[in-house]
Amino acid sequence: MAQIFPKWSNTVPIALALAGFFLLITVSGGVWYYGSPEYTDVGYRPKQPVEYSHKLHAGDLGIDCRYCHTGVESGARALVPPTRTCMNCHTLVKPESEKLSLVRRSFATGEPIEWVRVNDIPDYAYFDHSIHINSGVGCISCHGNVAEMEEVTLSKSLSMGFCLECHRSPEENLRPLNEVTNMKWAKSSDHASLAALWKKERGLEPPEACSGCHR
């Protein structure tokens, strides 16, 4: 009689049992890992005082991130734009819009709009935008595809593990310096060799020692 199952199939039950065992470990490990405080915040999307949409402004209209977040290349903070930046356009664009009434009031009174903070790390950890942007790490690596978001959502944990994962091997997250804000930039098939070159050319040595981030 022809053999229906090949010989190696005898070991399948053992393989399945082992796979099940490892799956159990991974699942319980995963719950422990993702259930720890750092991860519960991913998806955080507070209601903002004005219905400002990144999808409309940065996506459809294609306004560069740096037009509003003027600090990213030069300082630690990216900065959220003052009302004046909005009024560069909105004195003419939709000047009567109900959705912009708070913006107009803020401009008239000088009282800043109280945007609710989304990304936040504790003060005992040091972070600087400019060093990352000037190394060729794109906004998307840490903030996700903001140009597709109606409302900004926390998309990465920003935990110590998240920082360190990239610091150990940043290559996957490097890109040409003039593409840091481009949400549509895609890696080419020779990314690995390009990234190795960029890392060397730019002299990148992300700190892994505690004192690098806890100063």
Residue number with CB closer to ligand HEC (18 or 89): 89
**Calpha distance 71→28 (Å, rounded):** 41
What is the widest separation between alpha-carbon atoms in the chain? 91
Q: Which two three-digit tokens encode residue 89?
A: 């356009």
Residue number with CB closer to ligand HEC (2 or 183): 183
Supply the Cα-derived Rg of the chain in whole angstroms.
23
Q: Which of 16, 19, 23, 93 binds ligand HEC (CB under 6 A)?
A: 93
- Angle 113-115-118 from CA coordinates, rounded to 5°: 170
In sign, the C-alpha dihedral spanning 141, 142, 147, 153 is: positive
Question: Interface with ligand HEC includes 62 (CB under 6 A)?
Answer: no
Q: What is the size of the binding site for ligand HEC (CB under 6 A)? A: 78
State in angstroms the smallest separation of the CB of 49 from ligand HEC.
8
Nearest CA to 101 out of 49, 60, 63 is that of 49
Q: Which of 45, 57, 104, 191 binds ligand HEC (CB under 6 A)?
A: 57
Q: Which of 48, 70, 130, 153 binds ligand HEC (CB under 6 A)?
A: 48
Residue 2: how many other CB atoms lie within 10 Å: 3
Q: Which of 78, 106, 107, 175 binds ligand HEC (CB under 6 A)?
A: 78
Stretch that binds ligand HEC, among 8-16, 18-26, 27-35, 82-90 (CB under 6 A): 82-90
Collect all residues with Cβ–Cβ distance below 8 Å to 90 and sequence separation of at least 6: 97, 100, 103, 104
Q: Which of residues 113-152 bind ligand HEC (CB under 6 A)?
A: 115, 117-122, 125-129, 131-133, 135, 137, 139, 141-143, 146-147, 152
Q: Which of residues 152-211 bind ligand HEC (CB under 6 A)?
A: 152, 158-160, 162-164, 166-167, 170, 173, 180-181, 183, 204-208, 210
Residue number with CB closer to ligand HEC (15 or 125): 125
Q: Which of 18, 19, 89, 192 binds ligand HEC (CB under 6 A)?
A: 89
